[in-house]
Amino acid sequence: MRATATRSWKTLKGPTKLKASYHHELPGLSCKLFTSGQNTAMSNSTAGLSGRNSLIVSIDVSSIPSKLSGVGRYAVNLVDHLSVMDDLSLVLVARKGDGARWSSYAKPLQAADVLPEISTSEVDPVSRQAGTLRVTDAAPKTRVGRLAWEQIRLPTLLGHLDVEVHHGIHYTLPEHFSKPKVVTVHDMTFFDYPEWHERSKVILFRRAIKVAARTAAALICPSQATADRLGELFAPVAPVFVAPHGVDTAVFTPDEPYLGHDEAVLSSLGIREPYVAFVGTLEPRKDVPSLVRAFDLVSSNNPHLSLVIAGIAGWGAHAVEEAIAKARHSTRIIRLGHVAEEAVAVLLRRAEVVVYPSIAEGFGLPALEALACGAVVVTTSGTAMTEVVGDAALLIKPGDVDGLAEAMEAVISGAEPRKLLRERGIARAAKYTWARSAKIHSEAYRVAATSRR
Q: What is the largest CA-CA distance in the chain?
A: 72
Report CA-CA distances (Å) from 381 to 5, 359, 399: 9, 9, 11
pLDDT digits (tens, 9 = 90+) for 203-242: 999 999 999 999 999 999 999 999 999 999 999 999 999 9
3-state secondary structure of 124: coil
Report CA-CA distances (Å) from 109 to 6, 63, 86, 130: 47, 26, 9, 8
Predicted local distance difference test score (pLDDT) of residue 209: 97
Closest C-alpha to 21, from 235, 234, 164: 235
Strand ranges for 311-409 from DSSP E:
333-337, 353-356, 377-380, 394-396
Dist. CA 383–CA 363, nearest whole Å: 9
Instruction: Please list the residues that pair with 242 across neighbouring strands.
Output: 221
Q: How confident is the model at residue 326 (pLDDT cuts 50, 70, 90)?
A: very high
3-state secondary structure of 277: strand
φ/ψ of 12, rounded to 5, equals -90, 135
Dist. CA 11–CA 398, nearest whole Å: 19
| Opening angle at CA 387, ends 383 and 391, nearest 5 | 110
Contact 345, 373 (CB under 8 A): yes
148-182 exposure pattern, b = at least 16 Cβ within 10 A, e = fewer: ebbeebbbbbbebbbbbbbbbbbbbbbeebebbbb
Predicted local distance difference test score (pLDDT) of residue 35: 36
Mean pLDDT of the chain: 85
- H helices of 221-311, in order, are 224-234, 261-269, 288-299
Dist. CA 109–CA 127, nearest whole Å: 13
Lowest mean pLDDT: which of 17-21, 163-167, 304-308?
17-21
Residue type, 288: V
pLDDT digits (tens, 9 = 90+) for 48-72: 334 457 899 999 999 998 878 788 8
- Residue 42, pLDDT > 70, answer no
- Residue 105, pLDDT > 90, answer no
Q: How confident is the model at residue 131 (pLDDT cuts 50, 70, 90)?
A: low
pLDDT digits (tens, 9 = 90+) for 168-213: 999 999 999 999 999 999 999 999 999 999 999 999 999 999 999 9
More confident residue, 248 or 51: 248
Lowest mean pLDDT: which of 49-63, 350-364, 424-438?
49-63
Distance, C-alpha 213 to centroid of its chain: 20
The answer to whether domain 20-46+53-246+434-449 has CATH 3.40.50.300 is no
- Residue 366, pLDDT > 60, answer yes
Contact 405, 298 (CB under 8 A): yes
| Opening angle at CA 362, ends 219 and 189, nearest 5 | 95
Superfamily of domain 261-429: Glycogen Phosphorylase B; (3.40.50.2000)
> Boundaries of CATH 3.40.50.2000 in the chain?
20-46+53-246+434-449, 261-429
3-state secondary structure 278-296: EECCECHHHCHHHHHHHHH
Helix (H) or strand (E) segment spanning residue 308: strand 306-310
Contact 165, 57 (CB under 8 A): yes
Neighbours of 406 (CB within 10 A): 23
- Residue 127, pLDDT > 90, answer no
Predicted local distance difference test score (pLDDT) of residue 3: 38
Specify the DSSP class assigned to residue 50: T
Strand ranges for 71-115 from DSSP E:
88-95, 113-115
3-state secondary structure of 95: strand
- Residue 46, pLDDT > 90, answer no
Predicted local distance difference test score (pLDDT) of residue 358: 96
Instruction: Please list the residues that pair with 113 across neighbouring strands.
Output: 134
Percentage, residues of the chain above pLDDT 90: 71
Dist. CA 9–CA 393, nearest whole Å: 10
Closest C-alpha to 8, from 415, 401, 383: 383
Predicted local distance difference test score (pLDDT) of residue 20: 30
Dist. CA 362–CA 187, nearest whole Å: 4
